[in-house]
Structure 1
Amino acid sequence: MTVINEIYNYENKVAVITGGSRNIGKNVANALIEKGAKVIIGDILDREGQKTVEEFNSRVGKHVASFLHTDVTKYKDLMELFQLAENTFGGVDIVFLNAGITLDHDILLDPLDDEQDEKIMNVNTMGIIKGTKVAVRHLNKRGGGVIVATSSALGLEAYSYTSMYNASKHAVVGWIKSFEHLPSVCNVRINAVCPYAVETDFLKQFPKPMVRLTQSINSIPVDMDTVIKAVILLIEDKKRNGN
């Protein structure tokens, strides 16, 4: 793993995390808080989200985390989430666009249903696109910052049985690779983490043939600590952009 020569100071840094109530989002939020940052968590899982921030605040002994119900497919919700970060902690420095779903991951032979067929693209892809647009506007107020998006190894290669999920995550990778110019425009870097399957609730929703295939090839599930380290690397390494 790349060695970061310049120490990244998390003190007084504020992170906005979508899909942060559990799994990868929650674990990254915890790692950032342990390093000294404050976090704002957005999720549609209200009970889990509120419980997560209460857990963080109780453990640290002060207010370091807040939660807001957030549908990442809606600009209104995203704008309110980032505004909460500004109102509560003064601004935004780090953004982790992590919200995603695996439901309806292969719809080819399903009924012709507009809402069902568009849902995974709206959450996994448009949620990242809309989140990026809102994030850049807020990071610019602080003089710059960094965005990390969650894609997938299935955004780099494709397996059978997960066609819509493959497409949604390939689109995220294409989006991330489009911003070589971004640091020179507004001092914002954007990267994506692309793990193989991680031992989370999401893994249970994938079809068993695909899970068995990827396990045999890649010795997954991937350890959560590996994913956290990858996200932290993409936050800290100032040479990485569009990666």
Structure 2
Amino acid sequence: MEIQSSSTDIASFEGKVAVVTGGSRGIGKAICDELIRLGAKVVIGAISDRGQKVAKQYNKEAGKKVAMFLRTDVSRYDDNKALFQLAESEFGGVDIAILNAGTCDNSDNLFTPLDDKLEERIFNVNAVGMIKSSKVAILHMAKRGGGSIVCTSSAGGFYSIPALTAYVATKHAVIGYVRSCAFLPEVCNVRVNAVCPTFVDTEFLDNVRTVDGIPEPYYDFTDTIPTVPMSVIIDGVFKYLGDNTKNGILYHKKINKKKN
């Protein structure tokens, strides 16, 4: 059986359908903005209902339905299945998945209470949630003839950061998973890549600068180093989406300056 390649050879984003988890703000919202600008349709999954307002604004500006929102907890298969099914029922299928949902809850867990729910949440969202979303995405893309998945990891997936022990562990997991999916184009014509930024000036950074409202001294240094411009992240994401030779690659401009 010959594998179709139209879904991963993304020369134009016009009419393509993208599911974006964590798409209501920050990096996810910036990616949605660019997808909409390029003519794609987006289905936003987020734990916050803020995504409803984002989708409505896209539709209002376009004068037609180009976006949908569904409240989604990526740690649950039922939520992931509903999100991708919405994309299929409303827009015909899924070509692109941006797996960006993440949390920094209990990100420095070395000396926190021995609380199962507190301990597991960051892993359930950042690592397990990403894996669950990707498995559902792959099933939908296989029906479509292929697709492209981009995960949001972090430079913390390469390095150790003493004040972000649990967060770093989850991002190492994302990198390991992406590298382990490098065989997928041979099976179902689906590519999986990851962007791995350092600090980005979003609400996420505000959340890790304080713990329970108390300033975290370790993060004084974040005010002395440059943050990654959103344009760099967008460049990495769309480099992967638009080039079907990119697969199992980790994009971090400050680590690897070669053109992958």
| Superposition TM-score, scaled by structure 2 size | 0.87
Q: Is the 8 A contact 1:19 1:43 kept in 2?
A: yes
Structure-2 separation of matches of 1:213 and 1:30: 30
Q: Which residue of 1 aligns with 2:163?
A: 161
1:38: which partner in 2? 41
1:211 aligns to 2:219 (yes or no): yes
AA paired with 2:68? S
Identity within the alignment, %: 50
The one-letter code sitting in structure 2 at the alignment partner of 1:228 is: I
The C-alpha deviation readout for 1:99-137, integer Å capped at 9, x for no partner, is 000110011111110010011000000011101110000
Aligned to 1:97: 99
Q: Work out whether residues 41 and 67 of structure 2, in 8 Å CA contact, stay in contact via their aligned partners in 1.
A: yes
- 1:239 is matched with 245
Runs of 4 or more off by more than 4 Å in structure 1?
Answer: none
Q: Distance in 2 between matches of 1:87 and 1:65?
A: 13
Query: Take 1:129 and 1:96, find their aligned partners in 2: how far apart are those partners?
Result: 12
**Alpha-carbon separation, structure 2, partners of 1:30 and 1:144:** 23
- Verify: 1:223 aligned to 2:229, yes or no: yes
Deviation of 1:212 after TM superposition, in Å, equals 3.7
Equivalent in 58, 61, 67 of residue 59 of structure 1: 61
- Equivalenced residues, count: 235
Report the residue type matching 1:226 in the other structure. V
Structure 1 gaps, min length 5 = 1-5
- Secondary structure of 1:68's aligned partner: strand
Task: Return closer, same or farther for 1:152/1:210 CA change in 2, 3 Å cut-off.
Answer: farther
Q: C-alpha displacement at 1:16, in angstroms? A: 0.2
Q: SS in structure 1 opposite 2:110?
A: coil
Letter in 2 for 1:84: L
Q: Aligned letter for 1:21? A: S
CA-CA distance at 1:194 after TM superposition:
0.4
Instruction: Verify the 8 A CA contact 1:101 1:120 in the aligned structure 2.
Output: yes
Q: Secondary structure at the match of 2:181?
A: coil
CA distance in 2 between counterparts of 1:55 and 1:69 reads 17
**Distance between the aligned counterparts of 1:60 and 1:16, measured in 2?**
18
After TM superposition, list the pairs within 5 Å mapping 1:15-164 onto structure 2: 15-46=18-49, 48-164=50-166
- Deviation (angstroms), 1:206: 1.5
Read off the aligned partner of 1:241 and give its amino acid letter.
N
Q: Is the 8 A contact 1:196 1:220 kept in 2?
A: no
Contact 1:159 1:210 in 2 (8 A): no
Q: Which is further off, 94-103 or 206-215?
A: 206-215
**Worse overlay, 224-233 or 33-42:** 224-233
Residues 127-173 of structure 1: CA deviation (Å, up to 9, x unaligned): 11101110000001110010000000101112111000000001000
Structure 2: 5+ residue runs without aligned partners?
1-8, 210-215, 250-260
Q: Residues 175 and 197 (structure 1 numbering): CA distance in 2 closer, same or farther, change over 3 Å? A: same
In structure 2, what residue type is equivalent to 1:15?
Answer: A
Contact 2:10 2:244 (C-alpha < 8 Å) held by counterparts: no
CA contact (8 A) 1:150 1:194 kept: yes
CA drift at 1:220:
2.5
Is the CA contact 1:40–1:65 (under 8 Å) kept in the aligned structure 2?
yes
1:215 Cα deviation (Å)?
A: 5.6
RMSD of the TM alignment (CA)?
Answer: 1.3
- Residues 34/204 of structure 1: CA separation in 2 closer, same or farther (3 Å cut): same
Q: Secondary structure at the match of 1:203?
A: helix
